[in-house]
Structure 1
Amino acid sequence: MNLDLDKDKKGNILLVDDIPENLQLLSDLLIKLGYNVRSVTSGRMALKTVKVKPPEVILLDIKMPEMDGYQVCQALKADADLCKIPVIFISALDDVFDKVKAFNSGGVDYITKPFQIEEVVARLDNQLTIQRQQQLLQKEINHRRDTEEALYQSRALLSSVLNSSLDGIAALQAVRNPESGNIEDFRCLVVNPVIAKIFQRSREDMIGKLVLKKFLTNLQPKLFDDFIEIVETGNTLEQDFYYPSGDSYWYHFVAVKLGDGFAITTRDITARKQIELALQDANQKLEQLVNIDGLTQVANRRCFDTRLEVEWQRLAREQQPLSLILFDVDNFKPYNDFYGHLAGDDCLIRIAQAVQEVVRHPIDLLARYGGEEFTVLLPNTDIEGVINIAETIQKVIRDQAIAHAKSNITDIVTVSLGIASLIPKLEVPPDMLIAYADKALYDAKQQGRDRYAYNC
């Protein structure tokens, strides 16, 4: 990864850790990469420092004396002036409970120690990008609101507003059929330079002329009827529309009734649309970080818990079965001890990839439950269906033929599987399904491992 980042991507970072050596290490790395870094060694010092000079992002340790990281984060989120500062927890605690607690206390991300500086930088830059894009978007929204409010200013200020506004402003009068009284077109009464540029005509060529109907015929014919409705009903019309013109593609307009016609203000929102798309992409990446297991790249425990709750509620209403497979690697500790942790990680990755090929139905979910333990959630699947899937999982893992010299079962990696299947009830907690599968997994192990047992 190239860490030679552009200058405009750097930010002001506050590091909070009660171990000076940790602070010094991370501070030196970030300063070397161009970030402005401040460091404190306690939660109370952090709260005082933030109030004096708020940082853009806080990297916060959890285990600290007097006031731990969770309490610090909760205090920040309770302060209206500080609650929008993103907090990234960085801790040696790797338990799912600790991570969930971190997110519940208001954290936006979680980095496990020992960290990789590339990961820290990627997550920092992600939060800095989101924060700055939100600021730009809010600035754009505020500016548009101010411009729209200018429409209601007195006629004495209208001329200066029209000539100085960055938005397009025009006033149009209805031209009616003498016999039927129906609106046939609109005559331009007032047009500012921005509107004239959009129409690709001079102001002189537009004022007093009937140009709107012809213009909309090539752009969006329905808009002409919408403008008629503004005049006839008094309703306001506000929307975005696509119209390539030079370097601009998107515009936003607000049209309001004005006498027997309407006034319209138009803004080029191409930059805002680009920011919205970038923010959407950043949020999607953040969502993936929250729900995907970093090692195996399948769903994590947090994602599994959420899906289990959703499917339990849905299938309880529909009275359809919900099945669960809970499986783990047989004799995994001896495997790790003999082959090493890197080989152990590779083993888990290969198992996850193999099982993912089996669990291909869109509503099914494979998740890493913790350590060498995985779950497969199977909505709308009965006991016969889940047993078939369990047998297939057992086969594809054996087909991997991952050598296991320290197994007391066979010379390759195998798994034990616990199966549970039931029809959910709203008055029963979804944890019951996990308990049934866990009991079945225990039975499979007691029976000699490398097999499945079921409980339903």
Structure 2
Amino acid sequence: MNFDSERDNKGNILLVDDIPENLQLLSDLLLKLGYTVRSVTSGRMALKTIKVKRPDVILLDIKMPEMDGYQVCRAIKADEDLRHIPVIFISALDDVFDKVAAFESGGIDYITKPFQIEEVVVRLENQLTIQRQQQLLEKEINHRRQTEEVLYQSRALLASVLNSSLDGIAAMQAVRDPRTGDIEDFRCLVVNPVIAKVFERNREDLIGKLILKKFLSNLEPGLFDQFVQIVETGEPLERDFEYPSGMSYWYHFVAVKLGDGFSITIRDITARKQIELALQEANKRLEELANLDGLTQIPNRRCFNNILQSEWKRLAREQQPIALILFDIDAFKPYNDYYGHLSGDDCLVSIAQTAQKSVFRPADLVARYGGEEFVVLLPNTDLAGAIKVAANIQTAIHNLAIPHAACDVKNIVTVSLGIACMIPNLDIKPDTIVSYADRALYNAKQQGRDRYACHS
């Protein structure tokens, strides 16, 4: 085995696509970037290949003969040994329905063809980073559990474990008031070198001393009483705490009743905490990607649907109006045909960003609804307010003065807008206002485009 090549391997990727040209293109790109790549041309071959050698990530096409990508993904997720492998769909299908079906079948991400290799790599690395962090975290947790299990097996093993353990271990005895019997403090009976290091003291200076109450009062008020409850009730205590000591900041302890006192194990979890924070950040980024349109960088239809649902319920309770503007670019297909798809993408980005700048309240939402269609959600807004916003969007897009030689309305890019406003009712589906705005948009187009129309 070539160990250097194993270290250089950035991840094992399985490509599944029934078109060999697609496989070759993506495989060559990923191989140059240091990934190990295997390619298959059918879903059944993919399932056989996965069981022989499991990949770190699967890039899966949707439209394939015999088994489509959804069926393959469901088969993987149904297998207990394979379900943890992340599946990223990579497909030319760009409809929201296809994307929702991909996520419902168990996909973790979705990339639309034609793809940018930079986007593919970022999404791959996000999944590989999460996998590596989860593996490290699981390894750390398993190691902690194994150590604790050894500790609890027998008190007779305590003496041999103390000096060899990587965890801090101590045993405390309650010191009680002779008159009342209340616990006043705890005396250190046993302290291993790790505990001594945390206290920044020699073991000899700790054993036999009454130092816990003073230490805990500086660390966290009320924690001393919790240790008293361990002795009085027999209930164990387990938690994380923050305590700067050298290069370490976070520790985890488990304390259990031991005679008229308790034993405690302490572990430095600074590295684990850092992994958890990195994992949280990666998950946050994935959540942002799931709710953001990749091209225009404004919220996508999935995000819009979720917010419409929640706002509909809120405003139904408050009996306040909600307005919605649905608009699209006039003669966008001729624009694409005349100027090319790259210019079409630039046009979509400009329109999206301009519309987003035309709303000012934090609760207002501009989202890409699909293709060249956009939606503006305006909670607590009446029809007059919605008309004002629509007029602002129309004027702002006029001011962009994007040339459109193929348009029979004007020689610049324009938009048609449909406006609807209503007070929500829980007996009516939120999609109702979308259909109203869609009818108004249709009327605006019938009236000559480059205008707004309201649903009556």
Bin for the TM-score computed over the shorter chain? over 0.9
CA distance in 2, matches of 1:25, 1:370: 28
**Secondary structure of the corresponding residue to residue 255 of structure 1:** strand
CA distance in 2, matches of 1:381, 1:334: 35
The amino acid across from 1:449 in the alignment is R
- Alpha-carbon distance, 1:159 to partner: 1.3
Contact 1:7–1:34 (8 Å) recurs in 2: no
Deviations 1:48-90 (A, max 9, x none): 1111221111111111110011100010011111111000111
Determine the structure 2 residue equivalent to 1:236: 236
The amino acid across from 1:25 in the alignment is L
Within a 5 Å distance, the mapping from 1:290-329 to structure 2 comes to 290-329=290-329
Deviations 1:18-39 (A, max 9, x none): 1222222222222222211111
CA distance in 1, matches of 2:9, 2:38: 17
Deviations 1:228-286 (A, max 9, x none): 23223333222211111111110011222222222111111101111011111111111
Deviations 1:149-176 (A, max 9, x none): 3342212111122222211111111112
Within a 5 Å distance, the mapping from 1:127-142 to structure 2 comes to 127-142=127-142
Change (3 A) 1:145 1:317: farther
Determine the structure 1 residue equivalent to 2:99: 99
Determine the structure 2 residue equivalent to 1:337: 337
Within a 5 Å distance, the mapping from 1:242-321 to structure 2 comes to 242-321=242-321
CA distance in 1, matches of 2:338, 2:27: 37
Determine the structure 2 residue equivalent to 1:3: none
Determine the structure 1 residue equivalent to 2:3: none
CA distance in 1, matches of 2:20, 2:403: 44
Deviations 1:293-324 (A, max 9, x none): 11110011121122222222333333322221
Segments of structure 1 that go 5 or more residues without pairing to the other structure are: 1-5
Q: Normalising by the residue count of structure 1, what TM-score does the alignment of the two structures yield? A: 0.94
Determine the structure 2 residue equivalent to 1:80: 80
Change (3 A) 1:142 1:25: same
Determine the structure 2 residue equivalent to 1:372: 372
The amino acid across from 2:53 in the alignment is K
CA distance in 2, matches of 1:148, 1:318: 53
Instruction: Tell me the C-alpha RMSD between the 2 structures.
Output: 1.8
The amino acid across from 1:171 in the alignment is A
Runs ≥4 residues deviating over 4 A:
6-9
Contact 1:87–1:108 (8 Å) recurs in 2: yes
The amino acid across from 1:390 in the alignment is A
- Alpha-carbon distance, 1:199 to partner: 0.7
Determine the structure 1 residue equivalent to 2:146: 146
The amino acid across from 1:402 in the alignment is I
Moved more, 26-35 or 337-346: 337-346
Contact 1:241–1:251 (8 Å) recurs in 2: yes
Determine the structure 2 residue equivalent to 1:14: 14
CA distance in 2, matches of 1:143, 1:294: 41
**Secondary structure of the corresponding residue to residue 219 of structure 2:** coil
Contact 1:12–1:56 (8 Å) recurs in 2: yes
The amino acid across from 1:43 in the alignment is G
Within a 5 Å distance, the mapping from 1:198-217 to structure 2 comes to 198-217=198-217
**Secondary structure of the corresponding residue to residue 181 of structure 2:** coil
Identity of aligned residues (%): 76
**Secondary structure of the corresponding residue to residue 208 of structure 1:** coil
- Alpha-carbon distance, 1:191 to partner: 1.0
Determine the structure 2 residue equivalent to 1:407: 407
Corresponding residue pairs, total? 451
Change (3 A) 1:285 1:102: same
Determine the structure 1 residue equivalent to 2:381: 381
**Secondary structure of the corresponding residue to residue 145 of structure 1:** helix
Q: Normalising by the residue count of structure 2, what TM-score does the alignment of the two structures yield? A: 0.94
Deviations 1:396-434 (A, max 9, x none): 222222233333233322211101111222232222111
The amino acid across from 1:148 in the alignment is E
CA distance in 2, matches of 1:130, 1:85: 11
CA distance in 1, matches of 2:56, 2:129: 11
**Secondary structure of the corresponding residue to residue 218 of structure 1:** helix
Determine the structure 2 residue equivalent to 1:23: 23
The amino acid across from 2:412 in the alignment is I
Segments of structure 2 that go 5 or more residues without pairing to the other structure are: 1-5
CA distance in 2, matches of 1:353, 1:271: 41
Contact 1:74–1:105 (8 Å) recurs in 2: yes
Within a 5 Å distance, the mapping from 1:148-167 to structure 2 comes to 148-167=148-167
Moved more, 142-151 or 152-161: 142-151
CA distance in 2, matches of 1:283, 1:220: 31
Contact 1:9–1:125 (8 Å) recurs in 2: no
